[in-house]
Structure 1
Amino acid sequence: MTSESSTGETAGVSRRRLLAGIGGGVLLAASGLPRAAAATGTTADAFDDLRLAWRDRLTGVPFDPSDPLFRDGLRGLDSTVRTGRYRIDRSPDRTQVFTDLRFRDLSDPNDTQASWIITSTYTRLAGIAKGWATPGCTYYQNPDVLADVVAGLKTAHDHGYNAGIPREYSNWWDFEIGGPAQMLNTCALVHDSIDPADLADYLAAVDRFVPDPRYNMQEPYTELSTGANRADLCLNVALRGILGRSGEKITQARDALGEIFRYVSSGDGLYQDGSYIHHKTVAYTGAYGVILLSRVIDLLALLTGSPWEFGANRSVFLDSVERTYAPVVFNNQMMDFVRGRSLSRFGERGHHQAHTVIERVTVLADSVEQDDPQRAARWRAMCRGWLDRDTYDNVFKDASIPRIAVLSRLLADDSVKPAPEPVGFTMFAGMARAVHRRPGWALGIAMASKRVAYYETGAGENRKGFHTGEGATYLYNDADNGQFDDDYWPTVDPYRIPGITLNKMPLPDKTGGEWGEAHPASATWVGGASLEGRHGAVGMDLEGIQHRDLVGKQPPLRARKSWFCFDKYVIALGAGITDVSGHPVETIVENRSLHTSGRNVLTLDGEVQPTELGWSATRKVRWAHLEGVGGYLFPRTGARLSALREERTGAWQDIGNSKSDPTTRRFVTMWLDHGTSPTGADYAYVLVPGADAAQTAALAENPDFQILANTKDVQAVRVNDNEFGVNFFAAADLANIRVSAPCSVMLRRTSDQLVVSVADPTQSSKTVGIELTLGSYRLAEADPTVTVTRSSPSLVLSIDTSAGLGDSHHARFSRRC
């Protein structure tokens, strides 16, 4: 095997000089051949160069081990090595690497040991190898540690993971993604000490279980791989090619990954509106989407500058940074409504996922610097802003050495000025999600339809996630950067998630063996319209989740729900609320964590309420205010509001497979009670995030908005006399607006202009007709999908919605003189 010393020079350019100043990311220019070398088609040294670059990516070099910032990371590595070696089985005839991780005995048909042992064994070996390979670690270059790793790879191959295993068992993921990924990483770290024949055997196992990254699961269950799974498989095959010096395998991986650099219109993948779906129906930007981001960046960065670099088709992925990921990160936290079942994991919270996004986007920024310096600068400023506004956690705590190196370099770069959180509205019709962002706060809205699941459960995770995507609202603000990360999910009442309308029928927790992505059987009207990316109308035809024993036997709860998103507030309407379950029906206005000792003041119509735990009240109010959060209005004549201040105790183990220690948090909850078995009930309330009590009271007394309609067919509001939001759940007319099919409409009218935005949330109509009797106008500009069929005396438009993706169609008009 070729050593680093013989490959330190490539095409006359020093590899160490390439790495100088790049830091722990080992990024594009530093992770492959220089472009000049790539152009020659030379591959003799490219394999070694890529292997060494990947090794450096795993260890984070170069960095200064004496820098105090890396102290805890190095201590963590020491602990990993020490703990791992302590558990090594040192018996001469061992059949396992670690005493607590026994491989399945395939000769025993009664042995049911799970496949996760394979991944766990290689993960532990990779951790030990990383300590051996990382400068500054106590075990750096320790020959005894190296011997343990090399021997461990041999034992793991002979008794756990090899090409002779007749079939995958337990979980395909361990054979195709988890196990080989960690095995390949280990081989990259100790490559020069592995016998070539042994390395060939290890790579043969990858060939056996990942012969083609376009597919996952071996026969008879083979299926086309998608999204994050495809990216994982491609990285494994590419590393197998690098370690085995096979350009064919690297090309296979690159080309298979390139196939997912396109927009999809259903199922798994990236959507043009920024949505990311995984497991066919689950909004998953913040979990599987982060894996996709990480693996694609790993491979893009690794191959750029090499003979196998990607071509122009990577643009879809590059655009996803700002189109898919940035809108769902707020102040260095990934919004929970796109994290699927991972929100039930103690060790994988919103901030953790955002840290990964920031690290990887910073790496990608370095990689595109040469071709697109403006994009790179924009990304760095965005990431720097997220880090600067994080008041909840320390991004360096428990971080890996590579992450510390990447992020410390970003923070030390005085030329990077932090960008503020953007202001705007984003409708993700592809995954039934919306985000409204204003100065100091952001609101996420999570919905479900025939196309998108209420929630996902599986492997014992997210057992109580029933209502997390059922019209739930997730309010983030500057005042509390840890609202959802500070043990919110194991302690919150799962039947009182903010924003939802539900019956209180108890639902059975999902067990470890249950997998599923339950979604409504018939509800299709889910989505909304965006007006110039600033304001938006969001709505859903709610088909409530049911107890599994009642599906098909009893009608589910039904309601029509809307959220109209403007500068200062979000107006929430509900109508047609009907249920036959016999259980109480509620709409949850708020359920805010006050953490361990909060006493945030709740004010109702100007009266400060008691702060003692156990306090509750039900009374008619026109407005409420919760200190540190904002105001809540109940327009028209007010509403009968119930409120509760309580302390709740739970454990992460109650909702997933994490910590079993109990944790306690305080909550203030507010809800509207619709009684038992309502027919046609409704509600209206307004969220005013960031407002103080005086501002809330003033807006309640002199509102600058009006609710125009709140029925099961039409929900509509007007703001400042010049802006309208209307959700038509059926063909109908309202005042000066008539539509031919269900749709969502936003209008802004000034003295000389009219701006119109229309969307088909059903994603089923070929055309939507809209007539506006607002005066005579002349078309100024419009999307190609908008046709003006009449301009006077009324304005008649025909909107081509045949693409069926629920996107917004825009037109701007000037008033005729």
Structure 2
Amino acid sequence: MNTSRRTVLAGTGASLAALALPTPFLSSAHADDDNTALLRGRWHTLLTGGTGLDTTEPRIAAAVARIDRAAVSAAKGLDPSRTDGLWPDLTSTSVSNHVTTSFKRLATIATAWAVPGTGQYGDAALAELLGRGVDWMLEHRYGPGHERFDNDWDWEIGCALALNDTAVLLYDVLGADRLTRITDAVGHYTPDPNLWRADRQIATGANRVWICTVVAVAAVLRGDGDDLARVRDALSDVSGGGANSVLAFQDDGAGTGEGFYSDGSFLQHYKHPYNGGYGKELLGNLSRLLNLLAGTDWDVTDPDVANVRTWVTDGFEPLIARGDMQAGVCGREVARSSKQGHVAAQTVIEAVLRLLPGLTGDTADRFAALVKQWITEDTFRDFLDVTDLTSLVAAQRLLASGTRPRGTLVTHRQFPRMDKAMHHRPAFALGISAYSTRVYNYESIQNENLHGWHLSDGMVLLYDDDLGHYSEDYWPTVDPLRLAGTTVVAARPADAAGQRTTSTADWAGGAVLPGTTLGAYGMELRAFGSSLGAFKSWFCLDDVIVHVGSGVSAAAGPVETIVENRKLRDPAAELTVDGVRAPSDAGWSATYEGARSVHLAGTGGYVFPRPTALRALREQRTATWRDINVKYGTDTPVTRPYLTLWQDHGTAPSGAGYCWLQLPGASAGRTARAVLAPPVTVVAASTAVHAVRRASDGLFAANFWAAGRAGELGADGPASVLVRAREQRFEVAVSDPTQLRDRIVLDLDLPGHTVRRADPGVRAVRRGAGTRITVDTAGLHGATVSLTLSRTSSRS
């Protein structure tokens, strides 16, 4: 019986992840044993590194030793004679994670059994023990006849992935009857690569790829070609007409909107930014599936598979700063100790390493250079010390090649579909996290991320040479009411209060001048759970970030804007305010009534154009991961030193504001000079418009909250605009951050200029003594468009 080929969304392109594996391949609904072994061997290689490993090579030996230690730890307490659970700490019949964790421990031990060089390799007694462990789980917890409880993810994905892996690793010793019971159990919970949950919902985004992975590996174990065809088609959602294809961009809104967008954004759980969580899991698991199916009758030939390359360059590369993933796109994973900082980037690197063999030409060179840069620039967490054996071997080959690393990323990127921005300069990167009517503020489900209240209230993340800043217990110990960049009511909400909430404000986004690191970004803040409102802007002008706020108002409660909240490498890092050194004792605090400049050694400077009342605090903060994550947290107290700076707007402020220049990495001397000769001046800071001008070249940047005028520029309504003069030309960039306007009209006091270049939908005409620019913004979803004006030559 021949498998059916794709009849919808078919393409002719080759898979990105083609592997040089021998033929023949599976081509029948029930393949013969030799061909089944072929695909099973691919998955076995992904899990173990394959045959021919040089276990005397130091890095490989260290990786084998890690697998050994993990197995020894996982095996402690394993006892199939128990009646309440395989392990004494995993006995719950109401917490589904106990079932998943049991299967994961079995898979961990099975991996050591299958990897040459471990103390468990090929041990017959251990194989027998593992078989009994699988039997216990199938008899007491998992499969037909057992009621699921708690979280569907555990039953259909978490348990199934681990059990499938165990079956592949132990295939030769499990026996036919046990293998049948395993695949029947998996198929009971996860029978269809398109659907999941007890009520059989359409699977989307990362969940669809997880489900497809479960069905695919189970099909390999059974030799079922029809199910492999269903997996291939499910990736493109053939049965749904492509509405929930994981390969297609979600821009057209045909499905739920969960997945990647062409601007690099990734949303999961409807409206949560999640590149560093579900997005990286989607990429990681998809790269495994592409490897498994490459070159077979089930090769993924949908032309949209080429979008995977764009995910890497637009959805991950700009969000990674020297190995650390921008925390604003990691969702509730920021509250997991096992997912701190650089862990998310590891998954991305491993995925791209799997994609590399199928790339050719300039694309292959570019991706190889990117991966080499990622691995070598992260000196905080050595990729070679933490990755799996297969990725380790691939990484070592790449590092030994003549490929040159890409070099430091220098760019300014905005993600209008998820209200985030990333600003990369040679010495630092800065992330901005906002939200709007289109995007949720934060996720806290299943008792995770309980204190994420302000993660999108204008949080600013500074990534500098302190590569471990957002690792080493940052998220449980930082004051969650004082995240840098935010404006907040200084009152503690209930755990998880307001999670999964959109704002009532549309204005979030900005504009970027193409080919530069010049961007204007902003948000209208309407805080959850209070009457607090504010207009907030960040003008990212190369090495200077201008923070401007206006209209800071609340009917009740004390309101603060947080200038900085830094976990200190050196608890006594020198702090100077207006050139005077502050005490370095823990517990020190002070109020400065008219501060003009602040410098924090190892971090940089902050310049206030006008004397500003500023409060400062040094403290040692102690917490546990359980405080922010009941599900996965531990009760071990951790303590970290912090320096916090904030502006106190008072109780129930009306129309308050703020302004400062942030100079990341600046010396004390440069900070002091910036007070005397500010590199950027504020032109407007009203509730209608924020605008700034750079002294060196006259660059003008403005965020219009409503119709208004600032300096030489007027706008007929909400808009973000940058204008720069270069020789005889003016460059103009504009966007609609509300994503609601059909057209923006700008009036620029610029006589005698004509259009040299313009993006589609952008026009300019003379109007009186100036130039009127009209921009069609319908359907742009907040994207920046630009034009260049040239000075009109005059005859003498």
TM-score (norm 1): 0.89
1:120-166 CA-to-partner distances (Å, cap 9, x unmatched) read 2221111121111101111111111112222332332233222344x
Amino acid at match of 1:466: W
Question: What is the match of residue 109 of structure 1?
Answer: none
- Corresponding residue SS for 1:157: helix
Quote how far apart the aligned CAs of 1:290 are: 1.2
Contact 2:323/2:345 (8 A) holds in 1: yes
Aligned-partner Cα distance in 2 for 1:244–1:516: 43
**1:244-259 equivalences in 2 (<5 Å):** 244-258=222-236, 259=245
Q: Residues of 2 paired with 1:381 and 1:41: CA distance?
A: 41
Q: Equivalent residue for 1:747?
A: 723
**Residue number among 103, 107, 110 corresponding to 1:126 in the alignment:** 107
How far off is 1:342 after superposition? 1.0
Deviation at 1:97, TM superposition (A): 4.0
Q: CA deviation at 1:632?
A: 0.6
Structure 1 residues 374 and 791: CA distance shift in structure 2, 3 A: farther
Residues 81-480 of structure 1 correspond to what in structure 2 (within 5 A)?
Answer: 81-91=71-81, 96-102=85-91, 104=93, 113-165=94-146, 168-219=148-199, 222-258=200-236, 259-265=245-251, 267-311=257-301, 312-368=303-359, 372-411=360-399, 413-478=400-465, 480=466
Residue by residue, what CA displacement relative to the aligned partner does 1:235-275 show, whole Å, maximum 9, x if unpaired? 11111221111121112112211321111146321111111
Distance 1:608 1:103 in 2: 56
Residue identity matched to 2:271? T
Kept after mapping to 1: 8 A contact 2:606/2:671: yes
Measured after TM superposition, the shift of residue 633 of structure 1 is 0.8
Partner SS for 2:568: strand
- The partner residue of 1:50 within 39, 47, 72 is 39
Amino acid at match of 1:684: C
Counterpart position of 2:481:
495
Q: Distance in 2 between matches of 1:398 and 1:387?
A: 12
CA displacement at 1:537 relative to structure 2: 0.5
Distance 1:574 1:593, change over 3 A: same
Identity of aligned residues (%): 34
Q: Does 1:603 find its partner at 2:593?
A: no
After the TM superposition, which of the residue ranges 743-752 and 790-799 deviates more from structure 2? 790-799
Amino acid at match of 1:74: V
Q: Distance in 2 between matches of 1:537 and 1:747?
A: 11
Residue 511 of structure 2: SS of its match in structure 1?
A: strand
In 2, are the aligned partners of 1:777 and 1:791 still within 8 Å (CA)? no
Distance in 1 separating the partners of 2:229 and 2:124? 36
Structure-2 change in CA distance of 1:186 and 1:608 (3 Å): same
* Cα distance in 1, alignment partners of residues 674 and 91 from structure 2: 65
Q: Which moved more, 1:150-159 or 1:702-711?
A: 150-159
1:467-509 Cα distance to aligned partner (Å, 9 max, x none): 121101000012x111111221121111111001111022112
Q: Given the alignment, which residue of 775, 780, 799 partners 2:756?
A: 780
Is the Cα contact below 8 Å between 1:630 and 1:689 reproduced in 2?
A: yes
3-state DSSP class of the match of 1:537? strand
> CA 1:500–1:515 in structure 2 vs 1: closer, same or farther (change >3 Å)?
closer
Measured after TM superposition, the shift of residue 297 of structure 1 is: 0.8
SS of match in other structure, 1:287: helix
CA distance in 2, matches of 1:330, 1:770: 36
Q: Do the aligned residues in 1 keep the contact of 2:571 with 2:641 (CA within 8 Å)?
A: yes
Are the structure 2 counterparts of residues 415 and 721 from structure 1 closer, same or farther at C-alpha, using a change threshold of 3 Å? closer
User: What's the CA shift for 1:199?
Assistant: 2.2
Matches within 5 A, 1:795-810: 795-810=771-786
- 1:103 Cα deviation (Å)? 7.1
State the 1:395 CA deviation: 2.9
Task: Please tell me whether the aligned partners of residues 341 and 468 of structure 2 are also in contact (alpha carbons under 8 angstroms).
Answer: no
Aligned CA distance change for structure 1 residues 56 and 704 (closer, same or farther; 3 Å) = same
Q: Which residue of 1 aligns with 2:11?
A: none
* Deviation per residue, 1:65-122 (Å, 9 max, x gap): 122223343333333433444433343x957544543474xxxxxxxx3322331222
- 2:500 maps to 1:517: yes
| Residue 766 (structure 1) aligns with | 742
| Cα distance change on mapping 1:202 and 1:791 into 2, 3 Å | farther
Task: Give CA deviations for 1:697-744 in whole Å, capped at 9, x if unaligned.
Answer: 112211232211001110011113431111111122333322223111
- Structure 1 pair 201–95 and aligned structure 2 pair: CA distance change class (3 A): farther
For the pair 1:61 / 2:61, whether they are aligned, the reply is no
The 1:83/1:392 distance shift into structure 2, 3 A limit, reads: closer
Q: Provide the secondary structure at the position in 2 that maps to 1:144.
A: helix
Deviations 1:440-492 (A, max 9, x none): 100000012122222111222111111121101000012x1111112211211
Distance change in 2, residues 1:599/1:31 (3 Å): farther
5 Å-filtered alignment, 1:503-582, equals 503-510=489-496, 516-520=499-503, 522-534=504-516, 535-546=518-529, 556-581=531-556
Q: 1:263 to 1:494 in 2, by over 3 A?
A: same
Amino acid at match of 2:599: H
Structure-2 change in CA distance of 1:90 and 1:324 (3 Å)? closer
TM-score, structure 2 length as denominator?
Answer: 0.91
Report the AA paired with residue 47 of structure 2. L
Bigger shift: 206-215 or 223-232? 206-215
- Structure 1 residue identity aligned to 2:479: D
CA distance in 2, matches of 1:233, 1:650: 36
The number of residue pairs the alignment matches comes to 758
Change in Cα spacing, 1:473 to 1:706, as seen in structure 2 (3 Å) is same
Asked if 2 retains the 8 angstrom alpha-carbon contact of 1:365 and 1:375, the reply is no
- Offset of 1:402 from its aligned partner? 3.3
Contact 1:457–1:515 (CA under 8 A) maintained in structure 2: no
The C-alpha deviation readout for 1:599-654, integer Å capped at 9, x for no partner, is: 2111112222222222222221211111111111101x321221122222122121
Q: Is contact 2:31-2:223 (8 Å) kept?
A: no
Amino acid at match of 1:525: W
Q: Distance in 1 between matches of 2:168 and 2:17?
A: 18
Instruction: Flag the 1:247–1:56 CA change in 2: closer, same or farther, 3 A.
Output: same
Describe the SS at the equivalent of 2:339. Answer: coil
CA distance in 1, matches of 2:203, 2:498: 19
Judge conservation of contact 1:42–1:307 (CA < 8 Å) in 2. no
Of stretches 387-396 and 318-327 in structure 1, the one that deviates more from structure 2 is 387-396
How far is the alpha carbon of 1:533 from its aligned partner? 4.3
Change (3 A) 1:387 1:588: same
C-alpha contact (below 8 Å) 2:30/2:223 kept by paired residues: no
CA contact (8 A) 2:512 2:733 kept: yes
2:26, 2:225 within 8 Å by CA — same for their partners in 1?
A: no
Bigger shift: residues 180-189 or 207-216: 207-216
Helix, strand or coil: the match of 2:455? coil
Tell me which of 79, 85, 107 is aligned to 2:69: 79
The 1:190/1:39 distance shift into structure 2, 3 A limit, reads: closer
How far does residue 572 in structure 1 lie from its aligned partner after superposition?
0.6
Residues 566, 642 of structure 2: 8 Å contact kept: yes
